[in-house]
Amino acid sequence: DAGVTQSPTHLIKTRGQQVTLRCSPKSGHDTVSWYQQALGQGPQFIFQYYEEEERQRGNFPDRFSGHQFPNYSSELNVNALLLGDSALYLCASSDYDRGREGYGYTFGSGTRLTVV
Amino acid sequence: GDSVTQMEGPVTLSEEAFLTINCTYTATGYPSLFWYVQYPGEGLQLLLKATKADDKGSNKGFEATYRKETTSFHLEKGSVQVSDSAVYFCALNQAGTALIFGKGTTLSVSS
């Protein structure tokens, strides 16, 4: 059973450019969340998608946008890149774990974005 | 808002030593609590979780107990191995919404 797949694994972009990151959720998961992890920091929540709608959003500017497709895969788009956007971007898919009465989250290996 | 505070690292131990990484949280209601581990160059792996007070999560020799009275979820392992060297994150979540993470604690185990 494939877990969460993210692409690309590494990316180098120039300041001011736009970037699109992709995520395929774990089989059976219908909810996708995106996180930004700066070097040496904990992941920060960007937004969550469920049923192709943005369900919750963290404290990130509108330059960060996303999309979820009918097959539950998702994209993260960042416009007008800044040097400070350099980070590891993590995708997590989730569902309700009925056996443990809680939500189960599975993370991908991330996309390392470097803005120069 | 909800938040997680975990002890600053790095934590440096010899193989077979006892490990404790402290984690406390601030939250309304009854969050679920998690420990994640991140190895160099990789994403996050769920280590263990607990969904209600007094639950004990355990996996691979690691344990943590959900203590509502002290709002804590400390991670422990009786005998660490070199392969346990990684960054450990404590996190909480309310009803399937955003995971809120601590800043992470780096563990380095030497043989």
Measured on CA atoms in the order A85, A87, A93, A96, is the torsion positive or negative? negative
Closest Cβ–Cβ partner in B32, B103, B104 for A102? B32
pLDDT number for residue A102? 64
- Considering only CB atoms, which residues of chain B are within 8 Å of chain A? 32, 34, 36, 42-46, 49, 51-52, 89, 91, 93, 95-104
Nearest CA in chain A to B32: A102
pLDDT in tens, A2-19: 699 999 999 999 999 999
- Considering only CB atoms, which residues of chain A are within 8 Å of chain B? 4, 6, 31, 33, 35, 40-45, 48, 55-56, 58, 90, 92, 94, 96, 100-110
CB within 8 Å: B98 and A92: no
Residues 6+ apart with CB under 8 A from A42: B89, B91, B101, B102, B103, B104
pLDDT in tens, B44-69: 999 999 988 999 999 999 999 999 99
pLDDT number for residue A99? 53
Which residue in B77, B57, B59 sits closest to B67, CA to CA? B57
